[in-house]
Amino acid sequence: MKYSDKRFCGNEQRIFRARYKITEPGVISHVTQRAAGKEPLFIDDTDYLTMLMLLKESVEKFDLRYYALSLMSNHIHILLEPRENNLPEAMRSIFSRYAAKFNTKYQRKGHLFGGPYRQSVCLDNTYLLTASLYIHLNPVRAGIVDKTDAYRWSSASLYCNESDVESFVDPGVVLRLVHDQEPEARKNYCRMLEQAHGHEPENALEHEGAIEKFCIRLSQIFPRLFKKLGKKTENTEKYLGCNASMLDLTRLDQAIENTDFSRSWSMESRKAKKYIVEQLLARGFKKTEIAGRLGISRMSVYNILNSHCD
């Protein structure tokens, strides 16, 4: 099991993006999937209902727990927890079955989805809450609705409104982070959605670190709650261990600004450059992206990584 992106919200550690799929049972993940190119995933209401049916069936078939979701016209956000070591199999089954039904219905051929699903692992409660808020704000951010709970194809209404209707999505896990009393939790969560609107980051499917930045913004808007939620969880300790030393975004940006990458190859300078490059790699940036951010060539990035600083 390998992790390529250890991230912070404030001073708290997290693993944000797994380069290899994490199959560990009991780990909550933010899963995203998108259409190939500019093709739609859903054309009419029955398409959305078909996807919801497949997700609901997977609860028993694969022993999954769903905590939030948003089905957009060309992409999907899901917050879920597998109880068995089978997340890749479950996602493959859901998406392949949906693609087959969609292609048959619309007499099309070829890939419906734009590659494998993407997975972000929630290792502390600040990220879990941030992911849920981000998922529910998607339709508002896209200009489809004015209020999150007005969007039919997301779980936002389950969070904001009491209902006797049973659902395979359980909002309780996230709501309990906000308040231990359900009515107050719903009220607070709805208020958080309203206050967070306008602070949404870039599209998380397109921009590295988008949700991390959103998490930082939320921690500034709701400092007391995020400080309380920022304590390490069992999963944080399990996957990060005691040797995960990461800079938060502000300190990393400051370190980059204070380091001259164009010259100076003293031992101290080499150590500083190598540390910064390693920090960026750990956050999921590709070497080409690191080169662009630091204003150096890709070869220079390789040279920095291969330099001996002992």
Residue pLDDT, tens place only, 85-114? 999 999 999 999 999 999 999 999 999 999
**What's the domain count of the chain?**
2
Do 115 and 260 reside in the same domain of the chain? no
Question: 228: part of which helix (H) or strand (E)?
Answer: helix 223-229
Q: Is there a domain that residue 148 lies in?
A: yes
What value does the mean pLDDT take over residues 21-30? 84
Q: Give CA–CA dist 32/117, Å, rounded.
A: 6
pTM: 0.73
Q: Is there a domain that residue 1 lies in?
A: no
Do 230 and 110 reside in the same domain of the chain? yes
Q: Give CA–CA dist 190/177, Å, rounded.
A: 13
Give the CATH number for residue 81.
3.30.70.1290
Please write the tens of the pLDDT for every residue from 255-298: 787 888 776 666 777 888 888 888 777 655 678 878 888 888 88
Question: 82: part of which helix (H) or strand (E)?
Answer: strand 75-82
Domain with 44 in it: 6-240
Looking at 240, 260, 287, the residue that finishes a domain is: 240
Listed in sequence order, the residues at least 6 apart from 235 whose beta carbon sits closer than 8 Å to its beta carbon are: 26, 27, 121, 122, 123, 124
Q: Is there a domain that residue 57 lies in?
A: yes
Please write the tens of the pLDDT for every residue from 115-140: 889 888 887 898 899 999 999 999 99
Confidence at residue 88, expressed as pLDDT on a 0 to 100 scale: 94
Please write the tens of the pLDDT for every residue from 45-70: 999 999 999 999 999 999 999 999 99
Q: 303's torsion region: left (phi>0), alpha (psi -120 to 50) or beta?
A: alpha
Q: Rounded to an integer, what is the distance from CA 34 to the centroid of its chain? A: 14
Looking at 240, 271, 297, the residue that finishes a domain is: 240
